[in-house]
Chains A and B, each alone.
Chain A
Amino acid sequence: MSAPRYRAVMLLPLLLALGVGGCAIEPWVKPYEREYLADPIMNTSRDPIADKHRQHVFDTREAARGATTSEGGGCGCN
């Protein structure tokens, strides 16, 4: 067995254990304790239409793209 495949096989039980264990994880922040998390100011994109426009402004003037909270379409170049 090649080394990478051996490592993958060895990792499998660990991932399974994490997965099974994960199912049993009790949420340490209870739903009734999420008042602040539910506040709109905790959103990474509070106003989708405005964030899409702002992201489009940057997308059309920068080479970087992707992994944003909103994506634009079309060229909108120049």
Chain B
Amino acid sequence: MAAISAPSRRAVCPRWAGLAGLVVGLHGAVCAGAVLPEERADAMYHYYDGGGVRVTGPALLVRKNMADKLSVSGSYYADTVSSASIDVVTTASPFKEKRSEYGAGVDYLYSDSLMSLSLTKSSESDYVADTLSMDIAQDLFGGMTTVSMGYSRGKDTVRDNNDPTFSDYVNRYQYRLGVSQILTKTWRVNLDYEAITDEGFLNSPYRSARILGAAVPEQYPRTRDSQAVAFRTVKSLPPHSAVRLEYRYFWDTWAIAANTAEAAYNRYVSTAWLMELRYRYYSQNSASFYSDNFTQAQNFMARDKELSTFRSHALGGKLTYAFQSHPSFLVKSTLNFAYDRIRFQYDDFTDVRTGAPYAFDANVMQLFLSLWF
């Protein structure tokens, strides 16, 4: 499929090196054995506007491989937040703040195993999050099956910009398991599971619950255990298209259950242009200690709309342009624009300004340049 589809992955699969060598010339590296991630650099500007919140900023990601065994990556991600959300306008004053996230990672390829280690640090005025992640992926059966597992340890510090004496913590433990299976020449399926345990201060120091209309501080349990299982499948529709379907079921010890379903259609419309159309549906029920308006005080009380019963629809797409000529040190270069329109509809979260169930629309945009080298 011409320039845009030529994969720049470097396959490392000695048993098939001879055959792969023949095919690489036709279509890049096709050996699906363990491979290092693609060597690429991305520079993105992102934009979110919805529900009185605007978040914009740049993001950068650079990944370089060494000696076909090691891959190192560095990333930077910034959010500039201007917030007059319904929580803010009904209980506090609009505010602006900035979040910066730095990430660094190393991937090591040994035979059919890929071992990854990454660190991220996210900082904003009242929240600092440090995360260490370790993952391993093992190819089996000639690259037909990939089994992966991972562990992340997060340590967050929570502060209150209105109370310099307040400081608390969140400890987070994440455990991941995954299987990716090639079914046919054009069909792959993935099954992923993740368990997450949180312990610490899990609510916002700013948000209020309501008891008979009177605002009181929220109080959450200090532990939360959640599990999620996701099924993904991608089917190629040769020669120009592919369909992706995803479903995730989530449940936790706060009695929340959620369903996420997504469908995407990708199509090369020419040698230079690739388009993606996508739709995502999400629904959840409320936490056991959520109420729009409590009738009496109880141990745990929340009025966070993210813990209420709601659903959302996201419709969007992505357009990719592959440059037909570029400097010799580049394998491929693309310019991308993505847009999603999201509709959030809350069943039991009232807009206290109108008395009606709250709903809002959000626009999400991304403009980014990607270079493969």
Contact = CB atoms under 8 A, between A and B. Distances in A.
Interface of A: 22, 25-44, 47-50, 52-54, 57-58, 60-69, 71, 73-78
Dominant secondary structure at the B interface: strand
Nearest to B1: A39
Contacts of B7: 38-40
Contacts of A29: 144, 182, 184-185
28 contacts: A26-B142, A31-B32, A31-B142, A36-B236, A37-B30, A37-B186, A37-B236, A41-B266, A47-B42, A47-B318, A48-B42, A49-B59, A49-B368, A50-B366, A53-B46, A57-B48, A57-B364, A58-B282, A61-B344, A62-B282, A63-B307, A64-B256, A64-B282, A65-B226, A65-B250, A66-B194, A73-B103, A75-B124
Given A40-B7, A66-B250, A75 B129 contact: yes
Contact of B141 (A22, A41, A50, A54): A22
A42 B196 CA distance: 28
Interface in B154-213: 154, 156, 174, 176, 182, 184-186, 188, 190, 192-196, 204, 206
Contacts of A71: 133, 152, 174
A44 B232 contact: yes
Contact of B99 (A25, A28, A76): A76
In this complex, the member of A28, A36, A42 whose beta carbon has the largest number of chain B beta carbons within 10 angstroms is: A36
B32 A54 contact: no
B120 A73 contact: yes
A66 B44 CA distance: 24
Given A40-B7, A47-B336, 19 more contacts: A27-B142, A30-B19, A31-B142, A32-B30, A34-B30, A37-B30, A38-B9, A39-B242, A42-B188, A50-B368, A53-B77, A64-B250, A64-B256, A67-B192, A67-B193, A67-B194, A71-B152, A73-B129, A74-B124
A36 B238 contact: yes
Contacts of A66: 174, 176, 194-196, 226-228, 250
B370 interface: yes
Nearest to A43: B234
A27 B143 contact: yes
B19 A41 contact: no
A38 B32 contact: yes
A71 B230 CA distance: 14
Given A63-B252, A63-B258, A68 B182 contact: no
B136 to A, nearest CB: 16
B300 to A, nearest CB: 15
Contact of B256 (A35, A52, A63, A67): A63
A34 B368 contact: no
Nearest to B290: A63
B143 A76 contact: no
A57 B79 CA distance: 11
A56 B103 CA distance: 15
B293 interface: no
Contacts of B182: 27, 29, 34, 37
A58 to B, nearest CB: 7
A48 B151 CA distance: 19
B30 A38 contact: yes
A24 B33 CA distance: 16
Given A31-B13, A31-B31, A64-B248, A40 B5 contact: yes
Contacts of B16: 31-32
Nearest to A42: B234
A50 B342 CA distance: 16
B22 interface: yes
A26 B144 CA distance: 9
A62 B260 CA distance: 10
> Which of A33, A49, A61 gathers most chain B CB within 10 Å?
A49
Contacts of A76: 55, 79, 81, 99, 124
